[in-house]
Each structure stands twice: as structure tokens, then as C-alpha cells.
Amino acid sequence: MDLIKSVINTLASPTILFTLIIVTFFFIFPLNDWFYRWNKRLKLDSFWTNRGGIKMFIILLVFFAFGLFDENFRLIVLKPDNVPIVGLIFLVAFFTWLSMKQAVDNDVHIENNENVNEYSDPDDKVLTWPDLVYIELIALVLCTVLLIVWSIGLQAPLEEPANPTLSPNPAKAPWYFLGLQEMLVYFDPWIAGVLFPSLMIVGLMAIPYLDTNKKGVGYYSFKQRMMAVSLYMFGWLVLWVLLIIIGTFLRGPNWNFFGPFEYWDLHKLQPLTNINLSEYVYIIWFSTGMPDNILLREIWGILLILGYFLILPPLFAKTWLKNLYNRLGNFRYSVFIILILFALSMPIKMYLRWMVNLKYIVAIPEYFFNI
Amino acid sequence: MDDQKHLEHEQNKPEDAERSTENPEEMKQSEENSTEMKIAEKKEIEPKKPEVPKKKLEKGPTKKRASIGKGSILVEPIKRRSFFSWLTLAWVAFTAATGTFFGMMLRFMFPNVLFEPKQTFKAGYPDDYTIGEVTTSLKEKYGVWIIRDTEHIYALSVVCTHLGCTPNWLQNERKFKCPCHGSGFRKSGINFEGPAPRPLERYKIVLADDGQILIDKTKKFAYEKGQWSDSESYLVV
Ligand code: FES
């Protein structure tokens, strides 16, 4: 029992958890043909069958049932704040499974030159009233009942009146913002709080203009829009939902990491001494002092950032994104790749923080500019 | 079952219409029916209308005018006037409601509580502070930590330089730790862990005439701008 718990605790440490998920992710949601072949070979698409779904559900259920016997786990999971997140885990898993199941199903149909499941002949229509309105009415009634039961059953997690000189420990954002709060750990407030959220919205709005693939309209399909689905799922499941889950269950006092079965020790000591890139360069590698001129001091980081955004896109266009580049054209490709690079900067920065304790690549606190 | 019936009904309707066009008599009937229906509807909605012509007939002199403007001129001025008075009332009510609303909003800006701690205050005598310790007792009231090391006393701001949460002083670990994103600061206020980009700020600290420490929070000293060497940012003891 304790062994299992300590194994899970170790697995939940951010470095291991994130690495595991990133490595397996693109085999489960293949990004290109190469991954797709492996996906088939490893029979990973068996997730998206009825059996696979039931198995996943049982595993999740057993995990939570098992966890509830542990006091620390119970304290976190049953906190009224966190109950919806448990629901969210189940719901996200279910809807991912549901859509992927239909997509994989259709892929088989398409391969056999059959009609997709959503195919309907134009004469076959249903009426808004009563077919749709009845369903809506039932949904409405059920939701109301659920909300009433919920609000009676779970006490609202109210706290003492706000006090500007006393932040609760840990101070957590509302659950839907925990992904943003997690980003704030690795980035300057301007970037994680303003730039990234706006880019996310702009990026989501840009999808219909960037995605020129005409297939897969009106029906579920995975193979016909492999890259689109895979990339989107990465952004959604890993860079948003996973961060919410981490923020809810794995972040404790002083914003330290805690395993799901770990006691939230106020005095847990995690050595986190962080160093800026300029300090690495001038103090550790060159062992000269820091230069006084800000530009000279930060030039390495600035070059690195510029290189990341200016050199990588054409490089990719010439090498393994050649097909995509030809299909999208110059402008679309540029927008697409810049958005992707921004999204990738998140895990990159996380790893840099975990591995080499890098605080900021460009650090100009004098002008509130840090990357 | 219900659905089926409904469907049948829908399907039959257009056929009926077609048939009726074939048969002129039926068409007439159906037209009559529909006009009757319309009348009935009107009656329901505006039962007062039929009274209008009555009034017109009773009063003789108005007949002429009535003939000019399709018969409704006489009655309408009264109506319009009353309508205007209703409109005025509505506008007055609307303005009052909006005014109250904005008034309340304005009132909201000046709460009955004063959150803002005093900006300038006396903080006791230098000897009240032990060497090498962080004094947290003024945090709640004034929003400062007072720290005395071997030669200096300085006042640190309790606002995290990352996003403005209030860090806690952890006595065992001997560091300030922010509960929001985990920034850590040394006793001196220098940031060393987590995302905080700058050290905590220091406040102006001087000795008042009566020998007490006087702290002025309106003047801040930032390390990254080299202001910590300013003689007002610390007190020599
Ligand atoms: S506000 Fe203190 S670490 Fe973010």
C-alpha cells in the first residue's frame, strides 16, 4: 500500500509526470504518419473502443477509490473547491474518448469506402420541436437539479474577510485559472498574464483561417486531420487541463509540489535557487563580473529569443515541415509556426527551470521586461 | 406516439391548402374563416377600438375635422397628450434609476473601511529590535517587515515583486516565501527563488527627534536601480 503510494508520489513529481506525458502523448494522438504507424503497432487505438473506454473509466475510478482511503488525498480531493476538478477529470476523459471513438470508427469506414456514421441523406430531417426542444428541456431540468443538490450538499468554501496583508497559503486562483497561475510560476506577469492569454484567444480564433484542410467537415475523423487534432489536443489536454490538475492537486503551501498522497508540510524544503541566463554567462562561464550596460548584459538572451522566433520557422519550412509550408503558403505558415513556438515555449521554459534552475532568459527588471 | 401524430398533422397541412385552391367555394369559406379569425383576434387585443367611432358620432362639430384625417384626429390629441405624460414619467423614472445606480457606484468607491494603513508612522526605538531577526508584528497593521542586522535597520515592503501577493516570513527556513507562485526572498529582501524578478522594495527609514524610528512608505528604494545605497533606505545603529 505505502509502496504504491510512494511510487505514485514519485511519478507525480513534475519532471517525471510531464516527461512521461509528453513522450507518450504523440503516440496516443499521432502527429504524423510515423507516429500513426507506431500507434497502430502498439495497438494504442484500442483506447477508443467500448472496452478501452470502460477500462479507462475503471482505472480512474479505482485510483480515486483507492486514494480516498488516504487522509492527505481525501483532504485535497473532497475540498468543496476541488470536487468540480474531479468531475472535470472524468468528463474530459469521457468526451475525449467519445469523440475519438467516433473518429476512429469513421476512419475505418472511410478506408473501406463506406459512408461515415454521420452521413445522412438530405430528406431525413428531425424537427426542432419537439425533437430538439424536449432534449433541451430535459437537460435544463437535470442541470438545475444537479446545481441544487450540489449547492445543498457542498458548503461554499468561504473564508474570512479579505486582508491585503495576509495571503492564504497556498493562494490559489479559481480552478479555471489554475493553468494561468501555473504559467506565472515560470514567466513574468506580463507574459503569463497578458501576452499568453491573448495569444491563446487569438490562436483559437485563427484556427479556421489556418486550417485549409477541407476534409473532416461535419463528421468525426482522425486520420484525415491528424496533425490538427493532435496539436489541438496537446494544447488543450497537456498545456491547459493538465496544468489545472497540477495546480489543484499537486501544489501545496508556499506553492511547492506535493505528491497526491503527501502531507502538505508547511516547512517542506525545496531548493529552488534560480539564476538568470546573464548570470550563467558572465559569472559562471566567463567568470567576469556582470557588465553595467543592460543591453550588453542581456544580449545573449535577446539573441537566443530572436533566434528562436526568426531562425526556427524558416529552418522548419525547409526541413520536416516542408509539405505543410507548401500547403499553407508563406503567411499562413508564419502565423501558424509562431503560435506553435509560443505554445512550445511554455514546456521549454518549465524544463529549463526544472533542469538548470534558469529564472529568466532575458532579465531586465529595471524596465519590467523579463522573458 | 405524440411525435407521430404531430408529424402526420404537419404533413397533411400543405395538402389541405392545395385542395382548397382547387375548389373555389371552399376557398371562399376558408377566407371567411380567416377574416373572422382576424376580427376575433383584434377584438381580443384591442377591445376599445370599436368605441372610437361612437364618440365621434355623438359630438356634432367634430364631424368636419374627422372627415379630413380619416376620422381619428379628434380622439388622438388626448391620447397623444396622455401618452406624452406617460413618456415623461417613464423618462423621469429611468433617469432616477440610472442616477441612483451611478450614485451607488460612486458610493462604492468610498468604502466605510479604511484599508490603507498609515503611510508614515513611528515604529518604536531601535533597541526594540533584536539583531539578526525579522520583526513581523508590524506586517498586519502597517505592511512592513523591520529587520535589524549587525549594523543596519531597514524596512521591507510586504508586496511580492512578482504579482503583488503577500509573502510570509518562514522562521525555520529563514526566508520570505510567497504563497502564490513560490517566490523566495532572503532576509535582505533579495529574490533568489521562484519567478519574482526583483528584490523586495525598502521604505524610507529615519530617526525622529524623539529617538523613535520613523518610517515613510511613500518613498521606496529599489535594489535593481542601485537605491539601496541611499542613506535614507537604512538606519545605522
Ligand atoms: S505573487 Fe509572489 S510569487 Fe507570484
Contacts of B177 in chain A (CB under 8 A): 254
A244 shares its domain with A100: yes
pLDDT at B114: 67
For residue A81, is it within any domain?
yes
Largest CA distance in chain A: 79
A241 shares its domain with A371: no
pLDDT tens digit string along A199-239? 999 999 999 899 888 888 888 999 998 999 999 999 999 99
A252 shares its domain with A352: no
A12 shares its domain with A45: yes
Least confident span in A108-122, B91-105, B191-205: A108-122
Q: Which residues pair with A115 in a beta bridge?
A: none
A266, A299, A327 - which closes a domain: A266
Kindly provide the ipTM of the predicted complex, given to two decimals: 0.81
- CA B179 – ligand 1 centroid, Å: 7
Query: Confidence class of residue B58 from pLDDT cuts 50, 70 and 90?
Result: very low
More confident residue, A313 or A371: A313
pLDDT at A236: 93
Cβ pairs A/B, distance under 8 A: 91
For residue A29, is it within any domain?
yes
Average pLDDT over residues B159-186: 90
Q: What is the mean pLDDT of chain B?
A: 74
Atom of ligand 1 nearest to the CA of A189: 4
Average pLDDT over residues A77-97: 91
Query: Confidence class of residue A166 from pLDDT cuts 50, 70 and 90?
Result: confident
Please answer yes or no on whether B178 and A167 come within 8 Å at the CB atom: yes
Average pLDDT over residues A57-61: 94
Give me the helix-helix angle, B24-45 and B2-22, nearest 10°: 120
Query: Confidence class of residue A298 from pLDDT cuts 50, 70 and 90?
Result: confident
Q: What is the mean pLDDT of chain A?
A: 89
A288 shares its domain with A369: yes
Residues in chain A: 371
A367 shares its domain with A237: no
Name the residue with cell 503560435: A339
Closest chain A CA to residue B226: A366
Contacts of A275 in chain B (CB under 8 A): none
Query: Confidence class of residue B36 from pLDDT cuts 50, 70 and 90?
Result: very low
Chain A nearest C-alpha distance from B119 (Å): 14
Least confident span in A101-110, A258-267, A349-358, B29-38: B29-38
For residue A158, is it within any domain?
no
For residue A293, is it within any domain?
yes
A277 shares its domain with A257: no
For residue A198, is it within any domain?
no
A266, A281, A301 - which closes a domain: A266
pLDDT at B5: 44
d(CA B76, CA A3): 90
Which stretches within B74-138 are classed as H helix? 75-108
More confident residue, A28 or B19: A28
Protein residue whose Cα sits closest to atom 1 of ligand 1: B163
Neighbouring residues of B129: CB distance < 8 A, sequence distance ≥ 6: B135, B146, B148, B153
- CA A355 – ligand 1 centroid, Å: 21
Single-letter amino acid code for the residue at B208: A
Domains of chain B: 120-236 (2.102.10.10)
pLDDT at B17: 42
Asked if the model's pLDDT at residue B21 lies above 50, the reply is: no
Q: What is the pTM of this model?
A: 0.76
**Residue A167: which of B2, B166, B192 has the nearest Cβ?**
B166
Asked if the model's pLDDT at residue B88 lies above 80, the reply is: yes
Does the C-beta of B153 come closer than 6 Å to ligand 1? no
For residue A68, is it within any domain?
yes
A315 shares its domain with A230: no
Average pLDDT over residues A289-303: 86
Does the C-beta of B155 come closer than 6 Å to ligand 1? no
Contacts of A164 in chain B (CB under 8 A): 115, 143, 166
For residue A97, is it within any domain?
yes
- CA B197 – ligand 1 centroid, Å: 10
Which stretches within A176-291 are classed as H helix? 178-186, 189, 196-210, 226-233, 242-245, 277-279
A266, A293, A325 - which closes a domain: A266
Average pLDDT over residues B174-194: 90
A112 shares its domain with A259: yes
Please answer yes or no on whether A185 and B163 come within 8 Å at the CB atom: no
Return the number of other C-beta atoms located less than 10 Å from residue B195's C-beta.
28
d(CA B60, CA B66): 10
Please answer yes or no on whether B198 and A365 come within 8 Å at the CB atom: yes
Give me the helix-helix angle, A178-186 and A196-210, nearest 10°: 110
pLDDT at B115: 64
Please answer yes or no on whether B180 and A171 come within 8 Å at the CB atom: yes
Average pLDDT over residues A140-145: 97
pLDDT at A146: 93
A241 shares its domain with A287: no
Among B181, B185, B193, B201, which would you mutate to test the A interface (most chain A Cβ atoms within 10 Å of its Cβ)?
B181
A280 shares its domain with A256: no
Mutation test of ligand 1: which of B158, B159, B165, B166 has the most ligand atoms closer than 8 Å to its C-beta?
Answer: B165
More confident residue, A60 or A272: A60
Does the C-beta of B159 come closer than 6 Å to ligand 1? no
Return the number of other C-beta atoms located less than 10 Å from residue A214's C-beta.
8
Q: Where are the beta strands (DSSP E) in chain A?
A: 363-364, 369-370
Does the C-beta of B28 come closer than 6 Å to ligand 1? no
Please answer yes or no on whether B173 and A368 come within 8 Å at the CB atom: no
For residue A327, is it within any domain?
yes
pLDDT at A108: 92
Does the C-beta of B194 come closer than 6 Å to ligand 1? yes
pLDDT at B85: 85
Does the C-beta of B200 come closer than 6 Å to ligand 1? no
Range of the domain at A327: 271-371
**Is B138 touching A (CB cutoff 8 A)?**
no
pLDDT at B78: 58
Number of folded domains that form chain A:
2
Asked if the model's pLDDT at residue B87 lies above 50, the reply is: yes
pLDDT at A235: 93
pLDDT at A18: 92
pLDDT tens digit string along A331-342? 999 999 999 999
Least confident span in A110-119, A350-359, B28-37: B28-37
Contacts of A131 in chain B (CB under 8 A): 3
Q: How many CA atoms lie within 13 A of A365 on its CB side?
A: 21
Neighbouring residues of B144: CB distance < 8 A, sequence distance ≥ 6: B123, B138, B155, B156, B157, B158, B203, B215, B217
More confident residue, A270 or A43: A43
Q: What percent of chain B has pLDDT over 70?
A: 64
A371 shares its domain with A326: yes
Asked if the model's pLDDT at residue B31 lies above 60, the reply is: no
Asked if the model's pLDDT at residue B57 lies above 60, the reply is: no
The three-class DSSP label of residue A142 is helix
Q: What is the CA radius of gyration of chain A?
A: 24
